[in-house]
Amino acid sequence: MATIAAPSIFHAELYPADSYTPEGTYWADLPFFRRLAFVTSVDREEAVAEAQKIRGRSVWANLKGYLRDHVLTGIGLGLEGYVLFSIGNLAALFESVWPSCWKTLKECPKQLIDSVTYLEVLGITVGQLLIGVLGDWIGRRFGLLLDAAIMLLGLILLTASWGTSLAGWVVSYAIALFIYGVGVGGEYPMTATLGMENAVGSGRVSSRSDRLHRGRKVTSAFLMQGWGQFLNQVILVVVLLITSGGRRAPDGERYSEAAAQWTFRISFALPAMGTAWLLYYRTSRMKSAGRQLSIAKSKARVTGYDTTSLRMTFSCFGPRVVATAGAWFCNDVFFYGNKLFQSKFISVINSEKDSVMQGWHYNLINVSVSMVGYYLASFLIDNKLYGRRKMQTVGFMLTFILFAIPAFNYKYFTSKVHITSFQAIYFLSSFFNQFGPNTVTFLVAAEVYPTPIRATAHGFSAAIGKIGALLVAVLYNYIGTQTIFKVVPWFALSGALITWIFLPDTTGLDLKEQERRWACIRAGRAEDYHGVAVHPHHLSLWERWHGVGRSYSPELDSQQKIEEMRKEWLEARRATARLEVGEELRREDGGKEDGFSTEISAYFETTEKSDMLISKSDSSLPTSGGSRDEP
């Protein structure tokens, strides 16, 4: 091939200004103070551009954009958060109204009451594994429709749960929760992959928005879970006040059974209507969901489930599986233990021990504090100087410290004199759990894996997490609150260690680079990839110990990218209208011919002609074995 130096027309393609200096140096290769200046400058420029964009649009246009980009993507998780975490809230009401079943256990066996929590967590685990696999196998849209349909069925059964006795009602309630849990479990991998793949897009080159805001786009959908919890608590308070005649139950007295019946059934009927709308919306408006998965399968020549990618993910990315699944397990010991048994925790910080309404008020404060953590995590998740790995590590460490403090001085902090200190500790632990592992685990469990098995990997990691939730669901029924504070901190410390050693930091990483690396790994040529996906900054400590970053070479990678672009240009030229990848490239790149700029296309056209002329010239020369004229 002719050795023609690559002109400056490739500079924007090879060195996007949000990740590289004008000289072509990657931001993570800069010394600390230059890196600080570069990252701050890019973030400031982006913040100004976003502020100008917001000011240039009407309030309605901004609200519509927020609803489209964040709320609609995460509405399934919002509905899930509403229902799933209402179980702990309703447990306090059920204990107050039907103590013979839910508290003294005279009419309902303890195993039956405990099974409500067990079946809920088990259903979530089944859904995460099953629908995660189906989402990669059949398609993203199928998974989205399936989990919405299952959630709707579960909510109908919860609203209508009944029995000829209290024990019979609890059985129907538990079965309905299991069915709903299956749908909830599927919502995790499908929402994460959908939010991420919508952010990344399916074109050849990732957008500036993806590199700078991918984490925010995904976590903005995830924080809808927090809004679901908040709305559930508000609605429970309002409905119970209405059904009880606008008054709180006096101390020592219970709310009526009719008020409790209306309250819990209305609280489930409302999200059922929302879920029915969600199913309609996904059926009619999300017909193109999973476009990036289809393109990835087409490039890999896979039609069904990509078992090769699954097998290679566990063999090549095993430490990443440890990071995402292990950290999620440790987090769910804290998070789900806190939520499923929140009535037990709230009773400790509640001065009115037997007041359902007072306990709900304290929980509303707790959820409000958590919401601040959700939003702060969303705002800082893409900051290259802090990012995913540091946020998760710091969050784990602070929850460890905050739970360890009262663990060994429990009577001091739970006394009336110091109860406000205990309340502050409990609320802060909720804040740092959201501004840390609970948000980050949801994001990275999809982000660190390749497209073909992203939903499966996310579902597997989440399912391992739910084993942690199931562990505490069993354990918390047999140990006291003080013992809980002695047990839980060590899981947080373990989560911090797992994160520090095994989790790669994908903050600021172009995920198309990860797909380029995966293509080399899948072809058995892992050492042929030289791009930023193997930059030491984007690798885990474990991967650096094992020399994964040795192949990083910006110079070789630039040459490789140009050759890859040349091949794609040639393929696009030869593609017919029926070739799906070619069609997607043209649509994604805004109608540019062959998906490339006019200058790059002209360059490839020129060099191709030059190569053809040289090839013809070489073929016309006599070989060493050819005839020659006699003198």
Q: What single-letter amino acid sits at 252?
A: G
Say which residue, 242 or 601, is predicted with more confidence.
Answer: 242
- Does 577 score more than 50 pLDDT? no
| Residue matched to tokens 């919002």 | 78
In whole angstroms, give the CA distance from residue 462 to residue 225: 15
Q: Which of 525, 626, 493, 473 is nearest to 125 (CA)?
A: 473
pLDDT of residue 66: 86
Tokens 């009535």 sit on residue: 343
pLDDT at 432 over 70: yes
| Residue 123 β-bridge partners | none
For 131-158, write each residue's pLDDT tens digit: 999 988 888 889 999 999 999 999 999 9
Q: Residues 6 or more apart from 315 whose CB is under 8 A from it?
A: none
Confidence of residue 237 (pLDDT cuts 50, 70, 90): very high
> Is residue 102 a contact partner of residue 91, using CB atoms and an 8 Å limit?
yes
- Other residues' Cβ atoms within 10 Å of the Cβ of residue 630: 4
Measure the CA–CA gap between 331 and 228, rounded to whole angstroms. 20
Q: Are 116 and 173 in contact (CB under 8 A)?
A: yes
Q: Is residue 20 classed as helix, strand or coil in its secondary structure?
A: strand
Residue scoring higher pLDDT (342 or 500): 500
> What residues form DSSP beta bridges with 26?
20
Predicted structure pTM score: 0.85
303 CB neighbour count, 10 Å cutoff: 8
Q: What was the pLDDT predicted at 200?
A: 52
What is the residue-averaged pLDDT of the chain? 85
What's the pLDDT tens digit per position in 245-280? 766 655 556 788 999 999 999 999 999 999 999 999
Cα end-to-end span (Å), the chain = 36
Give the residue-averaged pLDDT of 615-631. Answer: 46
Q: Give the number of other Cβ atoms within 10 Å of residue 426's Cβ.
A: 24
The tokens describing 203, both together, are 């074109």
d(CA 447, CA 443): 6
Instruction: Note the pLDDT tens digit of each residue in 346-355.
Output: 666 665 556 7
How many whole angstroms separate alpha carbon 381 and alpha carbon 217?
Answer: 10
pLDDT at 631 over 70: no
Contact 193, 140 (CB under 8 A): yes
Q: What are the pLDDT digits (tens) for 272-314?
A: 999 999 999 999 887 766 666 776 667 667 677 888 888 999 9
615 φ/ψ angles, rounded to the nearest 5 degrees: -65, -45
Predicted local confidence at residue 92, as pLDDT: 85
Say if residues 441 and 465 touch (Cβ distance below 8 Å): yes
Largest CA distance in the chain: 124
360-375 pLDDT, tens per residue?
888 889 899 999 999 9
Residue for token pair 């029995």: 163
| Phi, psi (degrees; rounded to nearest 5) at 455 | -65, -40
* Residue 475: predicted pLDDT: 84
CA dihedral 597, 599, 605, 608 (to 10 degrees): -100
The larger pLDDT score, comparing residue 191 to residue 2, is at 191
pLDDT at residue 409 is higher than 80: yes
Question: Which H or E element spans position 100?
Answer: helix 99-102
SS3 of 439-504 = HHHHHHHHHCCCHHHHHHHHHHHHHHHHHHHHHHHHHCCCCCHHHHHHHHHHHHHHHHHHHHHHCC
Strand partners, 7: none
- The predicted pLDDT at position 624 comes to 42
Mean per-residue pLDDT for 478-486?
Answer: 81
pLDDT at residue 348 in the model: 66
Q: What is the pLDDT of residue 614?
A: 52
pLDDT score for 342: 61
Residue 20 pairs with which residues in a beta bridge?
26
